[in-house]
């Protein structure tokens, strides 16, 4: 690998941006594809698949065989609300190797004793999230049921390019949430990004089961190929 490629990959890693090194094993030619150049690359479909799966490997293309060295930022889960579901979610996510950041101004709940596997920010979301930085490799989850805490977090997430946004609550609760967010100036297209009721429908009842359904939905959003709109 050329030193220039290694330096560039290190810079992209530090900035939490994805990139892929494409190597022609026959001729030895290499090129580094940055995140903003994927769509224009001849191997864009193969690169997007490799990034979605987070796996390096050999791919076949009309123009030959190539080895893709994938560098994708580690997934982060930002959770607003240090509640029982959050505790279970932090443990499951930690087991999967993800970093969890829990944001909650209520210091009685946001304690290291309750969240040994998470980074804690005992702040209001509007204070904490600009520092955290929500990027396209971040999943955002709102779990407090308290609009004073959830809504500012959701507004920040909806204005970012994070790949997943979920919020706890019934359909009735979510309808009221949508009304509040719309009144705050969030348009319908962005509001449609919110997964609510949150999690895959597995009939979850306990906090641990709800956390499992949330983590499953996040994983599906991260790994599964997006469905094309009907008629496209």
Same domain, 130 and 212: yes
110/102 Cα distance (integer angstroms): 7
Determine the pLDDT at residue 228.
58
> Which regions in the chain score pLDDT beneath 50?
230, 232
Is 128 a domain residue? yes
Q: How many CB atoms lie within 10 A of CB 10?
A: 11
- Quote the pLDDT of residue 124: 96
Which of 71, 86, 105 finishes a domain? Answer: 71
Residues 114-152 have pLDDT tens digits of: 999 999 999 999 999 999 999 999 999 999 989 999 999
pLDDT for residue 189: 95
Of 231, 221, 179, the C-alpha closest to 200 is 221
Confirm whether 89 is domain-assigned. yes
The reply to whether 54 and 87 lie within a common domain is no
Contacts of 13 (CB under 8 A, 6+ apart): 71, 73
- pLDDT reported for residue 225: 75
For the chain, where are the E strands, in sequence order?
A: 19-23, 30-34, 57-61, 64-71, 76-80, 99-103, 119-121, 138-142, 164-167, 194-195
d(CA 106, CA 76): 22
Residue 60 lies in a domain: yes
Domain of residue 107: give its range: 76-223
- DSSP secondary-structure letter at 73? P
Residue 138 maps to a domain = yes
The helix, strand and coil proportions of the chain, stated in percent and rounded to the nearest 5, come to 40, 20, 40
96 alpha carbon, distance to own chain's centre: 14
pLDDT for res 232? 46
Task: Provide the number of structural domains found in the chain.
Answer: 2
24 and 120 fall within a common domain: no
Report the candidate in 105, 110, 113 with the shortest Cα–Cα distance to residue 83.
Answer: 110
């Amino acid at each position: 690998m050329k030193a220039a490629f290694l330096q560039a990959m290190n810079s992209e890693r530090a900035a939490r941006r994805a990139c892929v090194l494409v190597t022609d094993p026959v001729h030895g030619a290499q090129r580094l594809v940055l995140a903003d150049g994927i769509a224009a690359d001849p191997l864009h479909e193969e690169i997007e698949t490799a990034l979605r799966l987070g796996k390096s490997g050999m791919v076949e293309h009309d123009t030959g065989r190539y080895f893709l060295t994938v560098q994708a930022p580690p997934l982060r889960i930002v959770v607003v609300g240090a509640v029982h579901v959050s505790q279970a979610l932090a443990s499951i996510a930690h087991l999967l190797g993800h970093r969890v950041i829990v944001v909650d101004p209520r210091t009685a709940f946001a304690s290291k004793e309750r969240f040994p596997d998470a980074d804690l920010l005992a702040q209001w979301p509007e204070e904490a999230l600009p520092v955290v930085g929500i990027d396209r490799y971040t999943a955002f989850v709102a779990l407090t049921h308290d609009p004073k805490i959830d809504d500012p977090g959701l507004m920040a997430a909806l204005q970012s390019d994070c790949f997943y946004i979920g919020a706890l609550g019934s359909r009735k609760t979510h309808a009221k949430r949508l009304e509040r967010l719309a009144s705050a100036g969030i348009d319908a297209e962005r509001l449609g990004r919110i997964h609510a009721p949150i999690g895959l429908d597995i009939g979850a009842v306990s906090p641990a089961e709800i956390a499992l359904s949330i983590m499953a939905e996040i994983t599906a959003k991260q790994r599964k190929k997006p469905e094309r709109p009907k008629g496209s």
